[in-house]
Amino acid sequence: MLDFILGNKEAWRLIQMIPTFEGARIFVVGDLILDSFTYCRRTRTSSEDGRAFCVDVVKHELQIGGAGNAARCVRALGGSPAVFAVSGAGYHARKLNDALVDAGVDSALVRTDERPTTYKDRNRDVDTGELLLVVERQDRSPIPTWVGDGLLGRFASAAATRPHVVLVSDYDRGVVTEHVAKGVSRLSQKWGIPLIVDARERPLAWYKQAFKYLSLLTPNRRELSKVVGRELNTSAEIDTAAREVAEALDCDVLVTLSEQGARLYTRDGRVHRFDAKNGRPVSVSGGGDALVAAISVCLAKGILLAEACEIAQHAAAVCVGKPGTDVCSYAELLAHIESHPPRSKRSASAC
């Protein structure tokens, strides 16, 4: 009974801490993806090849993915996102722009006919939910310097809108080059606002070179392993690696550990541990975007990082509890905190 009371008090504390996120201006820089979801029904075996089957398309949906999904998550929570990215030209570029408008996301895109708009089509059996096929159209090579300059120019020009947080959403589709990263880092420092980087599998030396200024890095276990260049098989090895990265980059590091929750390693040597907030995930797609989006809007509203990470765990749990790539609304966030209270207060422990 005492645990239940403590849990409710902790949930109420978090809920009281969360203001409306209206006015939280978040700049998102990274790889935009046009996500396509095609729901099919198998009809027969192909007469051209007995190993293949024919399908009827029952439903088809388009939405913004990659950095766009992070921005969509910011918007769903009540914040005001703006995306700075690159697209191709033609049909998919127009559909991407339509999806951005439909999602209520501002954008400043560099368009080039030298590379395609990144497109990912997931084909699922409408009756069973089985993933049948994934079709991708993309160019993972680094964008040329002139394209990066165009992106940074748009980013710098938007300073008049007074962003509160910058979020780099790196999906390894060529936009987050060292050149772009350096420019974003420099401008974020100049503006005096937090810079969050949703990590990808890059070595520590690259991060040290690219981000001279960085507030928070958010790798999962696999990404952290790639950053430090070694296998991480135990909890102690994860602790050591995360502290190493925090010290080397002079930033805080949030390591996400799926069903084991997450750990925040601060640059002053403290560790905050967060329990996983979801039961049995329906889909892991989009959980990371919801996490960094929630942290961003929390920091924009003056919530301390440890509490922001605790709140963000709930946003991620809402998303992975839904099929496909979905978002967490402000109302859903509050409801999830109320229905999944911590058993006791999360406290930091010195290292």
Domains along the sequence of the chain with CATH:
2-30+68-117+151-350 (3.40.1190.20)
Q: How far apart are CA 326 and CA 220, in angstroms?
A: 20
Residue bearing tokens 């209270």? 341
- With 50 as the cut, is the pLDDT of residue 350 above it? no
What's residue 129's pLDDT? Answer: 87
- Cβ-contact 288, 218 below 8 angstroms: yes
Convert the pLDDT of each residue in 27-64 to its tens digit. Answer: 999 999 999 999 999 999 999 999 999 999 999 999 99
Name the residue type at position 290.
A
Residue 119's nearest CA partner among 142, 150, 88 is 88
- With 60 as the cut, is the pLDDT of residue 265 above it? yes
Torsion angles phi and psi, residue 68, rounded to 5: -65, -35
- With 70 as the cut, is the pLDDT of residue 6 above it? no
Report, as an integer, the average pLDDT of 248-268.
Answer: 93
Report, as an integer, the average pLDDT of 162-171.
Answer: 96
What's residue 325's pLDDT? Answer: 63
- Cβ-contact 303, 342 below 8 angstroms: no
Report, as an integer, the average pLDDT of 158-171.
Answer: 95
Q: Residue 287: pLDDT band by 50, 70, 90 thresholds?
A: confident
According to DSSP H, which parts of 67-167 are helical?
67-76, 91-103, 145-157
- With 70 as the cut, is the pLDDT of residue 23 above it? yes
Q: Residue 13: pLDDT band by 50, 70, 90 thresholds?
A: confident
- Cβ-contact 13, 152 below 8 angstroms: no
- With 90 as the cut, is the pLDDT of residue 324 above it? no
Range in 55-69, 197-211, 287-301, 317-331 the model is least confident about: 317-331
Residue 29's nearest CA partner among 163, 162, 192, 197 is 197
- With 70 as the cut, is the pLDDT of residue 344 above it? no
What's residue 173's pLDDT? Answer: 96
- With 80 as the cut, is the pLDDT of residue 147 above it? yes
Name the residue type at position 225.
S
- With 70 as the cut, is the pLDDT of residue 186 above it? yes
Question: Taking phi first (over 0 means left), then psi (-120 to 50 degrees means alpha), and beta for anything else, what does residue 113 get?
Answer: alpha
Report, as an integer, the average pLDDT of 87-96.
Answer: 95
Report, as an integer, the average pLDDT of 195-216.
Answer: 96
Residue 219's nearest CA partner among 209, 227, 211 is 227
Question: 300 or 322, which is more confident?
Answer: 300
- With 80 as the cut, is the pLDDT of residue 19 above it? no
Q: 74: Cβ–Cβ under 8 A, 6 or more apart, which residues? A: 24, 26, 28, 80, 81, 167, 293, 296, 297
Q: How far apart are CA 264 and CA 254, in angstroms?
A: 4
What's residue 8's pLDDT? Answer: 63
Q: How far apart are CA 257 and CA 325, in angstroms?
A: 19
Report, as an integer, the average pLDDT of 133-147.
Answer: 96
Report, as an integer, the average pLDDT of 91-101.
Answer: 95
Q: Residue 278: pLDDT band by 50, 70, 90 thresholds?
A: low
Helix (H) / strand (E) element for 337: namely helix 330-339
- With 60 as the cut, is the pLDDT of residue 155 above it? yes
Tell how many helices (H) and how many strands (E) occur in the chain.
11, 14
Share of the chain above pLDDT 70, in %: 89
Share of the chain above pLDDT 90, in %: 76
Q: Which residue in the list 35, 170, 198, 289 is annotated as catalytic?
A: 289
The mean of the pLDDT values for the chain is 90
What's residue 327's pLDDT? Answer: 87
What's residue 241's pLDDT? Answer: 97
- Cβ-contact 87, 1 below 8 angstroms: no
Residue 275 among the catalytic residues: no
